[in-house]
Structure 1
Amino acid sequence: MSETVKNNRTLYTMLEMAKIAGTSKSTVYRTIKEKHIKPTKHKGQSNLYDEAVLKLIISKIEEDSVSHDPVQRISIEALQKQLETKDKQIDQLNEQLRMAQINLSQSQQLQLQQAKKIRELESPEENQDIQKKPESIKKPTSKDVSDDTKTKKKDSWWRRLFS
Structure 2
Amino acid sequence: MTPTTAIRRFRIVLGLFIVGLIVSGVTAFPLLPEMKLLAGWLGVGDAVSPAGHDGLTFWILTVKCGLEDMYGQYPWIAYGTDWLAFAHIVIALFFIGPLIKPREARSAIWTGIAACFLVIPLALICGPVRGIPLYWRLIDCSFGVLGSVPLFYCLSLLRDVSPPSEEQR
TM range (shorter): under 0.3
Report the structure number with the largest CA radius of gyration: 1
Pick 1 or 2: higher relative contact order, CA cutoff 8 A, min separation 6.
2
Which structure shows the bigger proportion of residues in strand conformation? 1
> Structure 1 length normalisation: TM-score?
0.25
TM-score by length of 2: 0.24
